Amino acid sequence: MSQSQIIAIRDNRFQDDETNIIQAAQQHPALFQAIYERWSVPVYQYFHFRTGDSASAEDLTSQLFLAAYQALPRYHHRGHFAAWLFTIARNLARDYYRKTGREVSLELAELVAAPGDLLVEVTRADEIRHLQKLILELPDGEQELIRLRYIAELSFADMAIVLQRREDAVKKSLYRLQARLQSLLEQNHA
């Protein structure tokens, strides 16, 4: 890798070229920062929604990036870096729950209604609370689908790798889950 490529990566000019970033970080560990900057927020959010605790999420995020940094020289890039990273995240989360003996279910972030009609805002808040309740009642596997897709923002291909399922099965599961939640929400307002 040339010095100009290293400088370009360091300056985030290749931010969208995942392959170049990973290869550069494998050859020059100081460039791991580009990986951290790209994935730290989705990883933190994933852990925060798993634990419900900022301090635990920060600790788990640090553990994940330390593990990824140490394992990066052995990583073989095949276009699914996010799947590799979130597989490590899931394993860390499992270890965390084994040690603490507790798990906090998924909590959705409050959606902010546009300022205006108070009735619209109250109705939207009621719908959000009901959706949160429905999601909290889901089995962990279904909550994990929601976390990986909407919190971590993984592609279906990466979700399939993390969950060790076929991509079409992941899509169908998520779409069926969404339809079921929509139906339950509509029943609540009928």
Predicted confidence at residue 123, as pLDDT, reads: 67
Q: What percentage of the chain carries pLDDT values higher than 70? A: 78
Q: What is the mean pLDDT of residues 68-94?
A: 91
Q: Are 87 and 24 contained in the same domain?
A: yes
Q: What is the pLDDT of residue 117?
A: 60
Which domain range does residue 142 map to? 118-188
Q: Are residues 9 and 89 in the same domain?
A: yes
CA distances to 15, 25, 108, 114, 125 from 147, in Å: 24, 28, 9, 25, 21
Residue type, 156: F
Mean pLDDT of the chain: 82
Q: Is the pLDDT of residue 68 over 70?
A: yes
Does residue 8 sit in the same domain as residue 96? Answer: yes
Percent of residues, the chain, with pLDDT higher than 90: 48
Amino acid letter at 18? E
Average of pLDDT values for 178-182? 92
Verify that 52 and 133 share a domain, yes or no. Answer: no
Lowest-confidence segment of 106-120, 149-163, 166-180 by average pLDDT? 106-120
In a domain, 111, yes or no: no
Structure confidence by residue, pLDDT tens digits, 3-53: 555 545 445 544 457 888 888 999 998 999 999 999 999 999 999 888 888
Q: What is the pLDDT of residue 14?
A: 43
Residue 70, domain CATH: 1.10.1740.10
pLDDT of 1 reads 52
Establish if 106 belongs to a structural domain: no
Q: In angstroms, rounded to a whole number, what is the distance separating the alpha carbons of residues 174 and 99?
A: 30
Does residue 5 contact residue 13 with C-beta atoms inside 8 Å?
no
**C-beta atoms surrounding 115 within 10 Å:** 7
Name which residue leads in pLDDT, 76 or 14: 76
Return the minimum-mean-pLDDT range out of 11-20, 69-78, 144-153. Answer: 11-20
Ramachandran quadrant class, 111 (left: phi over 0; alpha: psi -120 to 50; beta: rest): beta
pLDDT, tens digit, 9 for 90 and up, residues 108-129: 334 333 445 666 666 677 777 8
Tell me if 108 is assigned to some domain.
no
Instruction: Indicate whether 73 and 20 sit together in one domain.
Output: yes
